[in-house]
Structure 1
Amino acid sequence: MGWNRLYSLRSYIKSSLWLVPFLALLFYILAIRLVYLLEPWLGWTEQWPWGLAGSQRLLETIITMTLTFVVFTFGSLLVAIQIAGGQLTPRIIATTLLRDNAIRFTVGLFIFTLLFATGALARLESDVHQAVVGVAGILGFLSIAAFLYLIDYAARLLRPVSIVLRVSEEGRAVIEEVYPAMATDDEVDTSHDPRPSERPAKSILYRGRPAIIVAVNTKALFGLAEKTRSVVELVPRVGDFVASGEPLFRLYGANVPEESVLRTMIAFGPERTLEQDATFAFRILVDIAIKALSKAINDPTTAVLAIDQLQRLLCYVGKRSLVGEALMNQSGELRVICRTPDWEDFVKVTFSEIRLYGAENFQIARRLRAVLEYALQVLPEFRHAALETELDLLDRRLAELYYFPEDLALARVADSQGLGGGKGSGASTPTATT
């Protein structure tokens, strides 16, 4: 199995709600036989003095209870997830909610308890196996506790502040993986085209259903290019849409890698994911913000929550080195070209749409200025040009929107709370976003 298929399989396992309950079914088959086998050594006969009728009622109660838990959990969570996706953004369903282990393992416990109690009841004859009934009773108690916990957990999970924080945490992890090195004061811009001057020896086109590039095995690509002494250029970058017939690779050199091997080093999917897509966390947070700013919803406070996490991510990525799209070997020879977002990409995706849809709101205008002023304080000098451009665009946008001088003066104040934080509250301490 190629790397791309293994990657797709791992991603599917991480986002599958049914897998843990199915494993609970397999574990039940082993567990109930093990309890019957160990019952003579457990010595629970006198500790659990249930009769035949009492044991039967207990097991029937556990079966009814856990079946209700399963139906209620799946039904209510599916509705709640759809509502949360509609109010915030559909991107959170696959990237965060379906990957939540607390939900999957709690449902797995319900399924295991249901099957265990059902199996124990089916084997209940004239003799009561006290150990089996006792284990079923403990599992029933744990299921009640897990159900109460799940209700509280789901209510907290679906809050906007919890969603944006989770997306921000995952985005920070992706930034660390894609840009492992910290920026230095002498970092230079390498936005020039890194491709070799000669014509490519071979171009490889994508063949298959239209899809999104979700991940690339850059280490394997580099090793393959080094082995063949060639240069491998990945034309699209992670997160790009590709259709059949579009260029996928350009190969340079006399001895180029085999096409079949190169194809196994790219994983495709129906939508963008957070694993290697450094700008997708920004995209999700911006989508949440601009949806909250729509006239139908009109919830600028939720947009401010998203901007809080955008500030954190922007200042974090601004301190990383963003110049690693051309991979060289130890001799300084170019081997792989794998394009990644640069600083201007992050700045534009953070501010452009929110400024367009939200500058007419005092909260958004003041919070955006606070982000820009804070970033200008904490980020290196070579990051300032793009931020100053956005600050100028914000001022020009506000001048067009606000006719009264008093409103314009109010909108031009930096406020880390959006509105109500007071004048000058945008000057946060540098540790606030680290």
Structure 2
Amino acid sequence: MLSPLREHLRDTFWFAPTAGLVCVFVLWLAAAGLDAEIVDYLRERRAYDEIGDLTAIAEDAKTIVTTVSSAMMTFIGVVFSISLVAVQMASGQLTPRVVRIFVRSRISKLTLTVFLSTFLFSLLVLTSYESETEPERVTAVPLVQSVVTLGLVGLSLLLFIAYVTTTLRLMQVGPVVDRITREALRVLVRQSAGGPDQVALPGATGRVVHRGQAGVLRDVDVARLVRVARRQRVVLRLIPRIGDYVVPGTPVLAVHGGRAPDVGALRSAVSVGVERTFHQDVGFGLRQLVDIALRAMSPAVNDPTTAVQCLDRIVQFLAAAAPRPLGAVLHRDRRGEVRLVQDVPDWDDLVDLGFAELRGCAVESPQVTRRMLAGIDDLLLLMEEGRREPLLRHRALLEQAVERTVAQPADRVFALEADRQGIG
């Protein structure tokens, strides 16, 4: 499972540029050292003519470096101002939670990192130019530094093209819902990997309450909790689900089979933030797809085709979840003993999340009702008997809602005809 720290850093926009600026400073020191070694080597050979030639070339390159340093910050401001407008448009048309996709985008972080690095490197190169022009007294010629600057400029141009292409794709519904679905499926695979087995827990002997700030339970450090439980020879059970809102004093961990561990050892193992994340939240991807579909079906937007696209992905997610064990994830130590029990949404919860709200808004749009019925029918073909009930319930409720709402019998028949494309 991915480290929580790594996931938290991916949700920030400052770490990659900061690391890039540190690396570019190291790169400048290496390039400056190489330039000094070149001059020392030529001086040892008394090749003063070659030093003079290098000085002349470097002076010509100084004009380019100066232009790059003065223009790069303006270029960065223009590019990312346009990007902020694109993010605002996407969040307004789809859902505010898609902003997180832009924040986590690797190409966005890499582009900003290279742009800022190019600007900083060009400034550092300008400090390396000497006023001395006599070859015998020159100590360093920033030739390698100038070449590296030109390389960074070329890389910046290539990344700019890739960045604009990616940003334009993320303003479209299809790529956005595809990105959300792929992340949701990755979380589903990780969180349902514990197997279908169950464990009988001994009686609860204590509880650990939340002492930090109020917020959404984003994730827990599973490895740390398992280590603490193994040392104490107990089983820990996570009481709230990932994505629940917790306040100070809320019980977050139940201890079974022994004395409760020290609170200090568990404090940093529970991460609380202002919003949900994908890291361990099985239902968050489904939540975003439903939000996009609900906004698309609102009277202000009236875009049932987008809702149908979201239903396609909802059905895909539920089909992937159908054969998997749900309800609880068992985390074991190296000896195979259960040390942490984590509650996750079960099959009924996921089906309700995927269809309940959409079903209530879909009755006015035959395109959406036809696609929802087709999706439920497809899922029923994949289901074992024990998981058919919630699907049949939502199908019956949808039919009843259409019969109550649609006045004309012909329109009712049309709206209740299953169609995987909605309406052609």
TM range (shorter): 0.7 to 0.9
Residue 165 (str. 1) matches residue 175 (str. 2): no
In the aligned structure 1, how far is the partner of 2:51 from the partner of 2:399?
79
**1:238–1:276 Cα contact (<8 Å) kept:** yes
Pair 1:329–1:388, CA change in 2 (3 A): farther
Pair 1:230–1:137, CA change in 2 (3 A): closer
1:111 to 87, 111, 116: 116
Gaps of 5+ in 2: 43-49, 134-140
**2:327–2:345 Cα contact (<8 Å) kept:** no
In the aligned structure 1, how far is the partner of 2:330 from the partner of 2:9?
32
Pair 1:210–1:129, CA change in 2 (3 A): closer
Counterpart amino acid of residue 368 in structure 2: I
> Residue by residue, what CA displacement relative to the aligned partner does 1:307-332 show, whole Å, maximum 9, x if unpaired?
11111111001121115356789999
Counterpart amino acid of residue 64 in structure 1: S
Counterpart amino acid of residue 308 in structure 1: D
Counterpart amino acid of residue 120 in structure 2: L
**2:327–2:343 Cα contact (<8 Å) kept:** no
Q: How many residues align?
A: 404
Residue 71 (str. 1) matches residue 77 (str. 2): yes
The aligned residue for residue 9 of structure 2 is: 13
Pair 1:33–1:364, CA change in 2 (3 A): same
Residues 87-106 of structure 1 aligned to structure 2 (within 5 Å): 87-94=93-100, 96-106=101-111
Residues 13-32 of structure 1 aligned to structure 2 (within 5 Å): 13-32=9-28
The aligned residue for residue 310 of structure 2 is: 306
Pair 1:49–1:268, CA change in 2 (3 A): same
TM-score, normalised on structure 1?
0.83
3-state secondary structure, aligned to 2:328: coil
Counterpart amino acid of residue 405 in structure 2: L
The aligned residue for residue 136 of structure 2 is: none
In the aligned structure 1, how far is the partner of 2:164 from the partner of 2:153?
17
Counterpart amino acid of residue 365 in structure 1: T
2:253 to 243, 249, 253: 249
Gaps of 5+ in 1: 1-5, 421-434
Deviation at 1:355, TM superposition (A): 0.9
Counterpart amino acid of residue 161 in structure 2: L
In the aligned structure 2, how far is the partner of 1:110 from the partner of 1:147?
9
RMSD: 3.1
Pair 1:105–1:326, CA change in 2 (3 A): closer
Deviation at 1:397, TM superposition (A): 1.2
The aligned residue for residue 29 of structure 2 is: 33
Residues 376-391 of structure 1 aligned to structure 2 (within 5 Å): 376-391=380-395
Deviation at 1:340, TM superposition (A): 1.3
The aligned residue for residue 269 of structure 1 is: 273
Deviation at 1:218, TM superposition (A): 4.0
Q: 252-261 or 71-80, which moves further after superposition?
A: 252-261
3-state secondary structure, aligned to 2:388: helix
The aligned residue for residue 423 of structure 1 is: none
In the aligned structure 1, how far is the partner of 2:89 from the partner of 2:235?
48
In the aligned structure 1, how far is the partner of 2:212 from the partner of 2:336?
36
Q: 46-55 or 150-159, which moves further after superposition?
A: 46-55
The aligned residue for residue 356 of structure 1 is: 360
> Residue by residue, what CA displacement relative to the aligned partner does 1:24-67 show, whole Å, maximum 9, x if unpaired?
32222222232233246599989999756643332233223322
**2:128–2:142 Cα contact (<8 Å) kept:** no
Bigger Rg, which one = 2
Deviation at 1:334, TM superposition (A): 7.2
> Residue by residue, what CA displacement relative to the aligned partner does 1:328-360 show, whole Å, maximum 9, x if unpaired?
899999754422110000000000111111231
In the aligned structure 2, how far is the partner of 1:348 from the partner of 1:270?
25
> Residue by residue, what CA displacement relative to the aligned partner does 1:201-241 show, whole Å, maximum 9, x if unpaired?
32333223211111123454445445444443322111111
> Residue by residue, what CA displacement relative to the aligned partner does 1:112-159 show, whole Å, maximum 9, x if unpaired?
111222222343345564433333223223222222222222111222
**1:48–1:134 Cα contact (<8 Å) kept:** no
**1:206–1:247 Cα contact (<8 Å) kept:** yes
Pair 1:181–1:263, CA change in 2 (3 A): closer
**1:66–1:140 Cα contact (<8 Å) kept:** no
In the aligned structure 2, how far is the partner of 1:306 from the partner of 1:348?
15
In the aligned structure 2, how far is the partner of 1:51 from the partner of 1:334?
68
**1:203–1:247 Cα contact (<8 Å) kept:** yes
**What is the percent sequence identity of the aligned residues?**
29
**1:274–1:281 Cα contact (<8 Å) kept:** yes
